């Protein structure tokens, strides 16, 4: 059994990215999903001064432990103003103070979904290009636009061509876990 860490990089209670990350994790055979909610890792806004004064919050250490214990990671990114959500960026900044390589070189599937035409591709490419510097071998990405008309929780991705691409990315990711 492989342990897949999955989360939506969003703090929305009804996050479509959390749903898509969870759905995608469930597609990996012989695996169990550790689905995180970023609201459980709320911390003060990162500053180097706060770190010097009070150290790294326990929530950041806990988050890092989830990464360390996983066999692979699935993140689906929400895009806010063309970039990471504040919730994700704050966790990323704190966790990056524990160890430079945040994701421990684990195989990663980076996803993004939005209800608009662009599928949150900007933030997906930002994350992909950053993580690629540390992991070029086991890093994959896929973006889905118009989530509410292109995705169904039971049926998955409704467009056949898009679903073919998604399945192929999932298969490549599964092979390296
Ligand atoms: C402050 C804010 C900024 C946003 N900026 C973008 C954006 O730059 N690009 C985009 O595609 N959607 C943007 N959106 C819409 C979100 O992508 C949309 O709310 C989506 O549902 C977020 O995913 P989530 O449900 O997983 O949180 C923004 C929403 C908010 C609240």
Report the CATH number that the domain containing residue 81 is assigned in CATH. Answer: 3.40.50.360
**Containing structural domain, residue 45:** 2-176
What are the beta bridge partners of residue 74? Answer: 6, 109
The total number of structural domains in the chain stands at 1
Q: Is 22 in the pocket of ligand 1 (CB under 6 A)?
A: no
Give the pLDDT of residue 138. Answer: 98
Q: Which helix (H) or strand (E) holds 94?
A: helix 86-95
Q: How far apart are CA 147 and CA 150, in angstroms?
A: 5
State residue 109's pLDDT score.
98
> Is there an atom of ligand 1 within 6 Å of 55 CB?
no
Distances (CA, A) of 122 to 31, 46, 56, 71, 83: 30, 23, 29, 27, 7
15 lines ligand 1 (CB under 6 A): yes
Q: Mean pLDDT, 10 residues at a time, over the chain (177 residues)? A: 98 98 97 98 98 98 98 98 98 97 98 94 98 96 95 94 97 98
* pLDDT value at residue 13: 97
Quote the ligand 1 centre to 114 CA distance (angstroms).
7
Q: Give me the pLDDT at residue 68, please.
A: 98
């Amino acid at each position: 059994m492989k342990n897949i860490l999955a989360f939506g990089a969003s703090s929305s209670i009804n996050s479509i990215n959390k749903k898509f990350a969870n759905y995608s994790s469930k597609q990996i055979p012989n695996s169990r999903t550790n689905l995180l909610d970023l609201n459980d890792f709320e911390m003060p806004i990162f500053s180097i001064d706060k770190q010097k004064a009070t150290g790294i919050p326990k929530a950041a250490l806990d988050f890092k432990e989830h990464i360390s214990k996983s066999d692979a990671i699935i993140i689906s990114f929400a895009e806010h103003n063309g970039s990471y959500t504040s919730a994700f960026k704050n966790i990323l900044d704190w966790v990056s103070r524990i160890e430079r390589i945040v994701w421990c070189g684990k195989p990663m599937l980076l996803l993004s979904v939005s209800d608009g035409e662009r599928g949150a591709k900007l933030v997906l490419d930002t994350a992909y290009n950053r993580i690629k510097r540390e992991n070029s071998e086991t890093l994959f990405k896929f973006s889905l636009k118009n989530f509410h008309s292109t995705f169904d929780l039971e049926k998955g991705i409704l467009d056949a061509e898009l679903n073919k691409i998604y399945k192929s990315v999932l298969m490549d990711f599964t092979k390296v876990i």
